[in-house]
Amino acid sequence: LLGEVKFPGTYPITRGETLHHVLARAGGLTSYAFPQGSVFLRDELREREQRQIDMLRERTRSDMATMALRAAAANQSGAVQAMSASESLLDQLQTAEAVGRLVIDLPGLMVAEAGSKNDIVLRNGDRLLGPKLKQEVTVIGEVQTNTSHLYSASLSAGDYISLSGGTTQKADRGRTYVVRADGSVVQKNSSWFSCGQG
């Protein structure tokens, strides 16, 4: 347990013990904690994610080789463009590292009884980071200025994009999304884009 926990540190666990129990043993979170932004990491998930990244990397390489052969044989500009996009994806995959994050509802877990549906049976190596309360919303991607803004409940995701100068010409507006502090992803058709929800 790291961060804004009253007694952070490494805790031994018994078989079947849950996060609710261990947090109670650690005295719970401090008054400065931001439970919605807590990060729960598991080694097993990180290893699985890394295998998926490695498989995607190999598949992308294979697809690129196939596209290169097709482009050379047919001299098609579309194949060349697709290959350029694949090269960009492969560049990203080369530096991608698995994290092993499990999206959890820590506020729900803390108010529910131990062993509830929100509780998590712990495994060796699990880690929980309780961050400090954050007050900013960061806008990145194809916007005029990648920047952070002070959070306001009255602002929508579109408002934050406007505060960053709006989208660029290369932006795919239909694929805009929000990554919440807990790691969950909200698509553009969600209500968060039309009303101020944290």
148 in Cβ contact with 136 (< 8 Å): yes
Cα separation of 3 and 5, whole Å? Answer: 6
Residues 6 or more apart whose CB falls under 8 angstroms from that of 155 comprise 137, 149, 163, 196
How many Cα atoms within 13 Å fall on the side-chain side of residue 57? 14
Other residues' Cβ atoms within 10 Å of the Cβ of residue 195: 12
- Spatial separation of the C-alpha atoms in residues 46 and 26, rounded to whole Å: 25
Distance CA 59, CA 76 (A): 22
- pLDDT computed for residue 53 by the predictor: 83
DSSP string, 68-103: HHHHHHH--HHHHHHHHHHHHHHHHHHH-----EE-
Give the model confidence (pLDDT) of 25-82 as tens digits.
999 999 999 999 999 999 999 999 989 888 887 887 777 667 666 666 666 555 555 5
pLDDT at 91: 66
The tokens for 145 are: 């200025």
Which positions of the chain have pLDDT values less than 70?
A: 64-65, 67-94, 189-198
